[in-house]
């Protein structure tokens, strides 16, 4: 016996609505993006937003998860694909210069910029945890290269990872302030020149 679907069918494309919410949060940050602004950007009413995504906090968490999987995936991919920490972080910074200034979406990094002036503790903590996880990934790769002799034995892996993270976060802010891709690529190259060179043993 056939059954009928209860309730009204969804009248919007969920993936499209989520991408539009991403653009709104990315442009304005978490705190200053209201539910009214979200529904206007997403092209849906508040009841549809709550039914499909839960509250604003739940929607933002889904936005961040999708952002990391899509627009922000270049960072993890660079560390995973390149054979050394130097190559991986260098690629990450160079690709950040392109991604952070891409005219197809808001400038900078959502995970970095959405935390600005955020007064909601659990949101701020969640974004901080993601940034710290990125730092931990860089530090682990640097430590592995030190152990393998690809970086000098005295290299401070934690400091070098934090330096690289500071460059990445600064590039995001400078992109939002109007820096060009070429200017940020120059920043990335300058940052990589600050890395310690591998010590070559004398014959």
Q: How far is 96 from 40, CA to CA, in rounded Å? A: 30
> Could you state, in order of their start, the residue ranges of all structural domains in the chain?
14-54, 71-194
Residue in this structure with the two tokens 């709104």, named with its chain if needed: 24
Instruction: Using the Cα atoms of residue 41, residue 42, residue 47 and residue 52 in order, give the sign of their dihedral.
Output: negative
**Whether 176 contacts 107, CB under 8 Å:** yes
Of the chain, the percentage scoring pLDDT greater than 70 comes to 92
DSSP character at residue 200: P
Residue 92 burial by CB count (10 A; 0-12/13-18/19+): exposed, middle or buried? buried
Residue 6 pLDDT greater than 50, yes or no:
no
- Residues 112-166 have pLDDT tens digits of 988 877 888 899 899 999 999 999 999 999 999 999 999 999 999 999 999 999 9
Q: Which CATH number is correct for 14-54, 3.40.50.720, 1.10.10.60, 2.170.16.10, 3.40.1190.20?
A: 1.10.10.60
* Nearest in space to 148 (alpha carbons), one of 80, 82, 57, 84: 84
Residue 203 has pLDDT above 80, yes or no: no
CATH of 71-194 given 3.20.20.70, 3.40.50.300, 1.10.3720.10, 1.10.357.10: 1.10.357.10
Same topology, domains 14-54 and 71-194? Answer is no
Quick check: 180 pLDDT over 90?
A: yes
26-44 burial string, b = 16+ CB within 10 Å, else e? bbbbbeebeeeebbebbeb
Token couple for 11 = 């009248």
Q: Give the pLDDT mean for 42-58.
A: 94
pLDDT at position 86 is: 96
**5 — pLDDT class (breaks 50, 70, 90):** very low
Q: What is the mean pLDDT of the chain?
A: 91
**Region 165-178 average pLDDT:** 97
Q: In this structure, how many other beta carbons lie within 10 angstroms of the beta carbon of residue 202?
A: 4
């Amino acid at each position: 016996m056939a059954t009928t679907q209860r309730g009204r069918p969804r009248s919007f494309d969920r993936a499209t609505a989520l991408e539009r919410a991403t653009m709104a949060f990315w442009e304005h940050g978490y705190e200053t993006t209201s539910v009214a602004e979200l529904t206007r950007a997403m092209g849906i009413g508040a009841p549809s937003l709550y039914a499909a995504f839960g509250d604003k906090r739940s929607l933002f968490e889904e936005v961040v998860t999708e952002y990391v999987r899509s627009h922000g995936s270049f960072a993890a991919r660079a560390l995973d694909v390149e054979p050394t920490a130097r190559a991986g972080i260098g690629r990450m910074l160079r690709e950040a210069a392109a991604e952070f200034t891409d005219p197809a979406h808001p400038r900078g990094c959502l995970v970095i910029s959405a935390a600005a002036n955020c007064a909601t503790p659990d949101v701020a903590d969640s974004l901080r945890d993601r940034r710290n996880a990125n730092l931990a990934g860089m530090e682990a790769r640097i430590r592995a290269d030190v152990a393998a002799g690809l970086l000098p034995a005295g290299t401070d892996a934690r400091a070098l990872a934090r330096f690289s993270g500071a460059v990445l976060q600064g590039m995001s802010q400078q992109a939002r302030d109007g820096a060009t891709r070429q200017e940020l690529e120059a920043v990335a190259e300058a940052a990589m020149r600050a890395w310690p060179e591998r010590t070559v043993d004398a014959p």
